Amino acid sequence: MVGIVIVSHSRRIAEGTVELAREMGGDDVALVAAGGTDEDGALGTDAVRVLNAIEDIFSDDGVLVLMDLGSAVMSAEMAVEMLDEAKRDRVLLCEAPLVEGAVAAATAAKLGRPIEEVAREARGGLLGKQSHLGVESEIAQQPSEPATDKSGPSLEASILVKNQLGLHARPAARFVRAAGRHGAHVEVTNATAGRGPVDATSLNALATLGVDQHHEIRIRAWGPGAEAALKAVEALAADNFGDPTDDVVAEPAATAVAETELPEGGMAGLPASPGVALAPARRFVSELPDVPTARAADVESEIARLDRAVRAASAELGELRDEVSSSAGAYEAEIFDAHVLMLEDETLRGTALRLIQDEKRNAADAFWTSVQESARKFESLDNPRLRERGRDVIDIGRRVLGHLLGQTDRPLVLSAPGALIVDELTPSTAAGLDPDMVKGIATATGGPTSHGAILARALGVPAVVGVGEDLLAIPEDTSVIVDGDRGIVIVNPGDRERERFADTARRLAARAETAKAAAGEPATTRDGTTIEVAANIGSVEEAERAADAGADGVGLLRTEFLFLERATMPTEDEQFATLARIAEALGDRPLTVRTLDVGADKPLAYLRQAAEENPFLGVRGIRLGLAERGLLTTQLRAIVRLAAERPVRLMFPMIATLEELTEARGLLNEVVGARRPAGLEVGIMIEVPSAALIAERLARDVDFFSIGTNDLSQYTLAAERGNAAVAALADPLHPGVLKLISQTAKAASSHDAWVGICGEVAGDARATAVLLGLGLTELSMAAPSIPAVKAAVRSTDLTEAAALALRALEADSAPEVRRLLEPDPAK
């Protein structure tokens, strides 16, 4: 098989191109990245790196080298000169476009094509884009060389393409592999558009057909493998070419209410933040100021203006981070750390500088153009969560633009309390909300995983998102109900709806006040069992707020804040000092410290981690700790030092096997030595289904379990909670998840271990009774949820809760369980 080397000035570009080409062409294609230099990945190229890459994948089939520009070409030429003379003739330097060429070449190499054909496919990498944009190309006029003789009888088939996006990149690559692996000559025609025929084993040729959803394609095959090739393509088509089925793509799983269930005047959206509000509509339109297009009089002056504006916007984002950390928590405030990184990304600034220097644009025009280009790239992605980041780029771009144009006043000021009706809820807008003024939020666009929605939840403001453009037609002062639990907005509600929701809102407010007043008291059930209601925290400041909110302790200290956003690993002394401050803030309340839980999705700057196709199933949590023993040992030493002074609960994350627990405890024993501190308890998080299934065995070696339902739900139901299309499936109240919780609780009880829960469902007061009925004795949550959950504990009878839990375990679905938990409207 022909090998492919990618040479770029940027290591990230080279590695990203390899990742993309490997996904399209197949895992077993020999692809190697040779980007950047050895100096910490600095921009540039290195002939020795290119030489080593060629040597690594060299075979008699040859090596194709793709380069970006300038010194990349010279480095590649130099590398070939340094090769043994016998190998030089089997290395081909190709002028094809880097990314598109790599994808086309990988697909051709996967089919065993000779190096000349692989190079031809790479050179035609732009054909699909040119065809789509109506650009003529000389390459497009070159006929594809047949793989075999077309003489003799042929077989034919017609297929209706049902994919929502047609034969876009991934399904097209699958089509080419299916058609080309049987040695037949296969041609394909877009019968609907009247394009073709083209060689079906050429990714570039297939792209020129422009096959969209509902297009009919006709396939014709010759040769001994013709029948097998047609069957392979037909089987692929029956599987939707490997894409999700249309109903999955078209119907977001998070949709809360069907149109037939809407009350009069109701508009369906997606639930984003719980609660209900009845208030007059308040409009806020974030209009973009006019961006001047005058040419720059002084290039250096414009660059200096841009840099000052970026610094000012970065400082503002830092202030917002501090405000949100105080009002909502450090975890939510990390959104603005990401915004700062976006703002400081050299891609944004680099494009703007080029426009200022080469086209003499003014700073505002250049930067806003760069922002729009970056946002469009995000918005073109398949991943709905990544598409939301396009809105974030626009958000930070507006902030910089405000400084460049002298318009930096905060845009959101409401004249009177009401329900905010807005096109989208950006993080900056959400961070500036006053919960005393904004009673509810409804947006026309956006999803429940957007950063703005996350902040709305943290601030406790009911919110519904994705209602549609009709929402923006609601006039100012119109009475609306925002139901963040069901995901609906009711416009001009009738007397019955108005009374019902007003009563609900008053009842909830009264309950909240009563619960808040009693938050500092123990949470004891009606039949006399005291339940520990603790807080999830991620900083010293959050420990102080948790104590003020009435937390009985900390059930989860996320220690990641000690390790992230640093150039070096924190020392034992640094970690101990911070842990001691948190313990001091808690007084005599118990503290549960989770060891570092990061992976490739949250990389550490000072720790080399290979990129992972699915970091949620990769080296994260305890796996990373055991792989990087120095890191975990240092953290354990700091925790043990604290345990020598006060009671501490140590918790290992992401345990999936008994061997992992044994190894982790062995490392702890090495740190503790002969004398384990009397106040040290050792437990694990139950986040992986395998751990719940072997909880009976794991319970022999721990003092407690803490169930992380966020991860347990997504692993059990194979639904990523960050993906809006399937997030609703990852419901912790699904009977399957509840059965794993029940099994874990029974295992803990049989070995005198206690069991708690620190997932998001712990903070849902409606779920309190069923969780206690399953046998949990500790609930840990975000601090604002503590008063309501304590009140729910006090109203629970454990005998009744156990009966409720049995009914939930026998339910057919999560919605059925939730219906069991619905409160009696008369109460």
Which amino acid is located at 42 in the chain? A
User: Residue 791 — pLDDT band, cuts 50, 70, 90?
Assistant: very high
In a shared domain, residues 704 and 745: yes
Active-site residue, from 339, 403, 451, 734: 451
Report how far apart the first and last C-alpha atoms of the chain are (Å, whole number).
72
Q: Residue 191 and residue 164: Cα distance in Å, rounded?
A: 18
> Is the predicted pLDDT of residue 25 greater than 70, yes or no?
no
As a whole number, mean pLDDT of residues 620-632 equals 91
**Span of 11-15, 26-30, 196-200, 823-827 with lowest mean pLDDT:** 823-827
Q: What integer pLDDT is reported at residue 139 of this predicted model?
A: 43
Residue 281 in domain: yes
In a shared domain, residues 718 and 658: yes
Q: What integer pLDDT is reported at residue 98 of this predicted model?
A: 83
Handedness of CA 354, 355, 358, 360 (dihedral sign): negative
Q: What integer pLDDT is reported at residue 86 of this predicted model?
A: 80
Residue 371 in domain: yes
Task: Specify whether 185 is catalytic.
Answer: no
Q: How far is CA 143 from CA 139, 455, 535, in A?
A: 9, 56, 67
Q: How far is CA 750 from CA 665, 695, 699, 790, 800, in A?
A: 21, 10, 8, 27, 22
Q: What integer pLDDT is reported at residue 310 of this predicted model?
A: 87
The number of helix segments (H) and strand segments (E) in the chain equals 33, 25
pLDDT tens track for 40-65: 556 778 878 888 889 888 888 899 99
Question: Which residues are CB-neighbours of 328 under 8 A, at least 6 positions away?
Answer: 455, 458, 459
Half-sphere exposure of 412 (CA within 13 A, CB side): 23
Residue 133 in domain: no
> Is the predicted pLDDT of residue 386 greater than 60, yes or no?
no
pLDDT tens track for 249-280: 333 334 445 444 678 888 988 777 778 888 99
Which of 369, 386, 405 is at the close of a domain? 405
Q: Residue 227 and residue 231: Cα distance in Å, rounded?
A: 6
As a whole number, mean pLDDT of residues 791-797 equals 94
As a whole number, mean pLDDT of residues 99-103 equals 84
The answer to whether the bond into 197 is cis (omega within 30° of 0) is yes
In a shared domain, residues 221 and 316: no
More confident residue, 331 or 78: 78
Q: How far is CA 91 from CA 55, 122, 125, in A?
A: 10, 15, 20
Active-site residue, from 9, 215, 403, 758: 758
Question: Which residues are CB-neighbours of 717 under 8 A, at least 6 positions away?
Answer: 729, 730, 731, 734, 736, 737
Q: What is the CB neighbour count within 10 angstroms for residue 337?
A: 15
Contact call for residues 793 and 825 (beta carbons, < 8 A): no
In a shared domain, residues 734 and 637: yes
In a shared domain, residues 570 and 635: yes
pLDDT tens track for 27-40: 678 888 888 876 55
Q: What integer pLDDT is reported at residue 282 of this predicted model?
A: 86
Closest CA to 648 of 708, 582, 700: 582
Q: What integer pLDDT is reported at residue 320 of this predicted model?
A: 65
Task: Specify whether 403 is catalytic.
Answer: no
> Is the predicted pLDDT of residue 140 greater than 50, yes or no?
no
> Is the predicted pLDDT of residue 147 greater than 60, yes or no?
no
> Is the predicted pLDDT of residue 824 greater than 60, yes or no?
no
The pair of three-digit structure tokens given for residue 497, joined into one six-digit string: 């709806």
The CATH number linked to 369 is: 1.10.274.10
pLDDT tens track for 732-746: 899 999 999 999 999
**Span of 138-147, 190-199, 676-685, 772-781 with lowest mean pLDDT:** 138-147
> Is the predicted pLDDT of residue 333 greater than 60, yes or no?
no
Q: What integer pLDDT is reported at residue 688 of this predicted model?
A: 95
Residue 166 in domain: yes
Which of 514, 539, 561 is at the close of a domain? 514
Compute the 3-state secondary structure of the chain and give helix, strand, coil in percent, each to the nearest 5. Answer: 50, 15, 35
Q: What integer pLDDT is reported at residue 232 of this predicted model?
A: 83
In a shared domain, residues 713 and 590: yes
> Is the predicted pLDDT of residue 102 greater than 70, yes or no?
yes
Closest CA to 614 of 19, 2, 47, 140: 19
As a whole number, mean pLDDT of residues 450-470 equals 74
Residue range(s) defining the domain that contains residue 280: 259-286+413-514
The CATH number linked to 484 is: 3.50.30.10
Q: What integer pLDDT is reported at residue 146 of this predicted model?
A: 40
In a shared domain, residues 282 and 430: yes
The pair of three-digit structure tokens given for residue 200, joined into one six-digit string: 């079906």
> Is the predicted pLDDT of residue 75 greater than 70, yes or no?
yes
Question: Residue 627: what are its φ and ψ, rounded to 5°?
Answer: -75, -35
The CATH number linked to 780 is: 3.20.20.60
Q: Burial code of 29-63, b = ≥16 C-beta within 10 A, e = fewer? A: bbbbbbbbbeeeeeebbbbebbbebbeebbeebbb
| SS3 category, 283 | strand
In a shared domain, residues 373 and 486: no
Q: What integer pLDDT is reported at residue 251 of this predicted model?
A: 32
As a whole number, mean pLDDT of residues 360-380 equals 85
User: Residue 480 — pLDDT band, cuts 50, 70, 90?
Assistant: very high
DSSP state string for 92-138: EEE-S-HHHHHHHHHHHHHTT--HHHHHHHHHTTTHHHHHHHT---H
User: Residue 373 — pLDDT band, cuts 50, 70, 90?
Assistant: confident
As a whole number, mean pLDDT of residues 645-665 equals 95
Residue 519 in domain: no
Radius of gyration of the chain, Cα coordinates, nearest whole angstrom: 30
In a shared domain, residues 280 and 417: yes
Residue 293 in domain: no
Contact call for residues 218 and 189 (beta carbons, < 8 A): yes
Residue 291 in domain: no
Contact call for residues 641 and 674 (beta carbons, < 8 A): no
User: Residue 336 — pLDDT band, cuts 50, 70, 90?
Assistant: low
Q: What integer pLDDT is reported at residue 21 of this predicted model?
A: 78
Q: Count the domains in the chain.
A: 5
Residue 45 in domain: yes
> Is the predicted pLDDT of residue 727 greater than 70, yes or no?
no
The pair of three-digit structure tokens given for residue 7, joined into one six-digit string: 């040479």
Q: What integer pLDDT is reported at residue 254 of this predicted model?
A: 40
More confident residue, 694 or 335: 694
The CATH number linked to 82 is: 3.40.50.510
Which of 125, 159, 191 is at the close of a domain? 125
Question: Which residues are CB-neighbours of 237 under 8 A, at least 6 positions away?
Answer: 159, 161
Tokens 């058609």 correspond to what residue? 179
Q: What integer pLDDT is reported at residue 263 of this predicted model?
A: 81
More confident residue, 24 or 503: 503
As a whole number, mean pLDDT of residues 482-510 equals 84
In a shared domain, residues 599 and 642: yes
Q: Residue 101 and residue 68: Cα distance in Å, rounded?
A: 11
**Span of 26-35, 265-274, 336-345, 522-531 with lowest mean pLDDT:** 336-345
In a shared domain, residues 17 and 48: yes
Q: What integer pLDDT is reported at residue 325 of this predicted model?
A: 57
Mean pLDDT taken over the chain: 81
In a shared domain, residues 426 and 496: yes
As a whole number, mean pLDDT of residues 351-372 equals 90
Which of 34-48, 622-636, 710-724 is most confident?
622-636
